[in-house]
Amino acid sequence: MTCKGICGRHKAQKPVGSGRYASGQRRCQICEIFINWEGLWCPCCGYRLRTKPRNLKYKARLRARKKLQEVYPEKPIPVQV
Ligand SMILES: [Zn+2]
Ligand SMILES: [Zn+2]
């Protein structure tokens, strides 16, 4: 799976007023390019294309858990002398 340069023919221009994914563009992680392509797979390298931005929900959950830890810190373990 390597870039063969075909993706350059499908290169997507940066949309005005909306996000790239919102306007139907897809991202290839291998070619590191946004393309106008209907399929799920990159026409160039054959790798699965990304159709959505990174999962924001997951990040939010991680943040929430961190906050919880700050509210309920673990009890300090008494040190025996
Ligand atoms: Zn490519
Ligand atoms: Zn590709």
Q: What is the pLDDT of residue 67?
A: 77
Cα–ligand 2 centroid distance for 66 (angstroms)? 36
> Looking at the predicted structure, is the pLDDT value of residue 58 above 80?
no
Q: What is the pLDDT of residue 64?
A: 80
| CA–CA gap between residue 2 and residue 62 (Å, rounded) | 34
Asked if 34 and 11 count as a contact pair (C-beta separation under 8 A), the reply is yes
Residues ≥6 apart with Cβ < 8 Å to 35:
7, 10, 11, 12, 25, 26, 27, 28, 42, 43, 44, 49
Average pLDDT over residues 67-80: 73
Our separate counts of H helices and E strands in the chain read 1, 2
Other beta carbons less than 10 A from residue 44's beta carbon: 22
pLDDT (tens digit per residue) in 20-46: 998 999 999 999 999 999 999 999 999
Q: What is the pLDDT of residue 57?
A: 65
Cα–ligand 2 centroid distance for 11 (angstroms)? 11
Q: How many percent of the chain have pLDDT more than 90? A: 56
Cα–ligand 2 centroid distance for 15 (angstroms)? 20
What global pTM score does this model have? 0.64
